[in-house]
């Protein structure tokens, strides 16, 4: 399940985040790579425990936690401290699959990476190339979103970032351990949640059908959640 989440950040938040990030000191992205990733990766990254990454990361996490679509789709149990990368001309990231287990150097927590998320911080007109390409059973999905929007997808997906040929692509990326490990179950719960909201708007929250579906949703979540 891939979910586009528009307007995670407001234009003012994007502008502030970019000002902080553009003034920060960036390092070689392979500072945090394993052996296989290092063979495919060519970008820059912020130190995860640096002041700029902490400030902008906190803004992003707070915005996501207040975003109804993100919460419904991800059912987050633990959110890794956001990372930040930057691709200039000639930079890209070849095919790879994210590590299944990550340790957060800021919080010390270890989490299972159920979901990957990229929050775009550059307008698509500001750079050529730099598309995120995610592979699944239905083929290749090319993603290049407006600044402030995010894409959420299973961390088990094969994916890559195409080479940037003009400009600079700046983004935040990180991982989520969900309350519900299985992607198909999360998709079913999201469909139910959306249907319940639509039905509630049409007939009211106290309608017997709404109450019954809401009960079924929570019973399934109770059955599948790992707390």
Q: 185-200: per-residue pLDDT in tens?
A: 999 999 999 999 999 9
> What residues form DSSP beta bridges with 179?
none
- Provide the pLDDT for residue 49: 86
- Provide the pLDDT for residue 35: 52
- Provide the pLDDT for residue 36: 55
User: What is the pTM assigned to this prediction?
Assistant: 0.93
What percent of the chain shows pLDDT beyond 70? 96
- Provide the pLDDT for residue 41: 87
Torsion (CA) 151, 157, 161, 162 in degrees, nearest 10: -120
The answer to whether 147 and 120 have CB atoms below 8 angstroms apart is yes
- Provide the pLDDT for residue 48: 87
Interacting residues of 22 by C-beta distance below 8 A, sequence separation 6+: 170
> What one-character-per-residue DSSP string does 26-61 give?
PEEGGGG--HHHHHHEE-EE--TTSHHHHHHHHHHH
> Which parts of 130-182 fold into alpha helices (H)?
none
Which residues of the chain have a pLDDT value below 50? Answer: none
The answer to whether 82 and 53 have CB atoms below 8 angstroms apart is yes
The answer to whether 117 and 155 have CB atoms below 8 angstroms apart is no
Q: Give me the phi and psi of 40, to 5 degrees please.
A: -110, -15
């Amino acid at each position: 399940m891939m979910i586009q989440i528009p307007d995670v950040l407001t234009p003012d938040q994007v502008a502030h985040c970019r000002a902080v990030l553009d003034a920060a000191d960036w390092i070689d992205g392979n500072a945090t790579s394993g052996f296989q990733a290092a063979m495919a990766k060519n970008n820059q990254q912020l130190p995860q425990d640096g002041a700029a990454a902490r400030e902008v990361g906190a803004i992003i996490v707070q915005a996501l936690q207040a975003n109804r679509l993100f919460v419904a789709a991800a059912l987050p149990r633990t959110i890794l401290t956001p990372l930040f990368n930057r691709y200039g001309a000639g930079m890209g990231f070849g095919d790879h699959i994210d590590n299944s287990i990550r340790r957060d150097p800021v919080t010390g927590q270890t989490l299972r990476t159920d979901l990957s998320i990229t929050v775009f911080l550059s307008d698509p007109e500001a750079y050529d190339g730099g598309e995120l390409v995610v592979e699944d059973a239905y083929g290749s999905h090319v993603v290049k979103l407006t600044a402030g929007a995010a894409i959420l997808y299973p961390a088990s997906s094969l994916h890559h970032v195409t080479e940037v040929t003009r400009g600079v692509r700046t983004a935040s990326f990180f991982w989520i351990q969900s309350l519900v490990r299985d992607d198909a179950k999360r998709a079913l719960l999201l469909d139910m949640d959306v249907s319940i909201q639509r039905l509630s708007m049409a007939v009211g929250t106290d309608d017997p059908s709404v109450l019954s579906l809401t009960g079924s949703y929570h019973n399934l979540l109770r059955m599948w959640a790992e707390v």
